[in-house]
Copies of this chain bind each other. A is one copy, B any other.
Amino acid sequence: MKRHVLIFGVVGGLLIAALQYTEYRFIIIEHSVELYGALVAILFAAFGIWLGLRITRSRETVRETVVVREVLVPADAPAVGPFAPNTARQQTLGITARELEILALIARGLSNREIATQLFVSENTVKTHCARAFDKLGAARRTQAVQRGKELGLLP
């Protein structure tokens, strides 16, 4: 959280510096102030969106898991229902929510890079989660991990 504030300050400083720089180097056209304002607005809006996503990401995942779990506890309903991940087995295996999340994306056929993009993390992080999940599942390949995950009721 502290790092966000730091980044915020740095970005602000650099932005103002950039503004000064452009102000001295370029020909100042008529509505330059508005242009700069728009620039700042766009950049900070994007930053705010990113920050908002980052802050709320974890809580969201938890909430979603809870919701899904509440929906379907009755067991032998294989075909219908919004799929209840076997949390008991998940916990005995020590698989975290994040790992399961990435496992689900793997099962959808996404590459590590695509997963990283979708979750706003680096590819290396995805690889780490993969490795841990594979280890806990006793899988050596992602296809095998998916197969095991479905066998164990962790994936739909």
Partner of A108, one of B23, B82, B147: B147
Chain B residues near A6 (CB-CB < 8 A): 3, 6, 9-10
Which A residues from 115 to 156 make CB contacts under 8 A with B? 139-148, 156
B52 near A48 with CB under 8 A, answer yes
Q: Are A15 and B41 in contact (CB under 8 A)?
A: yes
Residue of B nearest to A73 (CB): B156
Assess A141 versus B48: contact at CB under 8 Å? Given A40-B41, A53-B56, A70-B156. Answer: no
Tell me the smallest distance from the CB of A15 to a CB of chain B, in Å: 7
Residue of B nearest to A53 (CB): B52
A1 interface contact, C-beta 8 A: no
A14-B15 contact, Cβ under 8 Å, with A109-B143, A142-B143, A146-B146 = no
Say whether A63 faces chain B, with CB atoms less than 8 Å apart.
yes
Q: Interface 1/0s, chain A 52-71, versus B by CB < 8 A?
A: 11011100100110011011
Provide the residues of chain B in CB contact with A37, threshold 8 Å: 15-16, 19, 36-37, 40
Interface residues, chain A, with chain B CB atoms under 8 Å away = 3, 6, 8-10, 12-17, 19-20, 23, 33-34, 36-38, 40-53, 55-57, 60, 63-64, 67-68, 70-72, 74, 78-83, 106-111, 139-148, 156
| Closest-CB distance, A132 to chain B (whole angstroms) | 18
**What chain B residues lie within 8 Å of A36 (beta carbons)?**
33, 37
Residue pair A19, B33 in contact (C-beta under 8 Å): yes
List B contacts of A47 (CB < 8 A): 45, 48
